[in-house]
């Protein structure tokens, strides 16, 4: 693959979490989250968006979201559980994504707000009007995803280089 080829970033916010008496990192999915996560996976599969690599936060709710989401994809992507995603700022997430091997064409990041939404907004120098309108109206609720494209090697990822090409959130159809 040449560095000039297009790459996709799929930013997924974990599904709805419960609030039991555990640490924030250990919070599991709520019943609604267990219903929404597979729908997110189906929407990605229906849009023919299947990651080559998934970088997932180590938090319980993100791991559970990914497990339910990936069951709906046609193939299981290589997966890295990365503690640096938890509570990461957009700048920290960009630095993490820059470490992606260049043979990866589509990468999914399963993480948390406010970092995921802020990252989508910061990377999107351009946007498909419909996707931008939906994201502006809905924000970035649990189990939502945004898809951005950019051209170049992963190490060239920086604010404004991407184009927001798709956005979806549960209940917004």
Q: Binding site for substrate: what residues are annotated?
A: 61
Using an 8 Å Cβ cutoff, are 132 and 148 in contact? no
Binding-site residue numbers are 61
Pairing outcome for strands 145-151 and 162-168: antiparallel
Asked if residue 167 has a cis previous peptide bond (ω within 30° of 0), the answer is no
d(CA 153, CA 156): 5
Residue with tokens 């299981």: 76
């Amino acid at each position: 693959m040449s560095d000039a080829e297009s790459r996709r970033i799929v930013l997924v916010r974990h599904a709805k979490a419960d609030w039991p008496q555990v640490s924030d990192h250990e919070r599991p999915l709520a019943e609604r989250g267990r219903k929404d996560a597979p729908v997110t996976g189906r929407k990605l599969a229906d849009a023919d968006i299947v990651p080559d690599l998934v970088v997932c936060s180590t938090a319980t709710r993100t791991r559970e979201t990914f497990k339910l989401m990936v069951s709906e994809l046609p193939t299981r992507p290589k997966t890295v559980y990365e503690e640096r995603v938890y509570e990461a700022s957009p700048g920290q997430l960009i630095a993490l994504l820059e470490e992606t091997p260049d043979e990866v064409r589509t990468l999914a990041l399963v993480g948390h707000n406010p970092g995921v939404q802020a990252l989508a907004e910061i990377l999107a120098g351009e946007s498909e009007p419909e996707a931008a309108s939906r994201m502006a109206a809905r924000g970035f609720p649990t189990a939502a995803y945004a898809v951005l494209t950019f051209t170049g090697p992963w190490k060239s990822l920086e604010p404004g280089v991407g184009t927001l090409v798709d956005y979806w959130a549960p209940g917004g159809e």
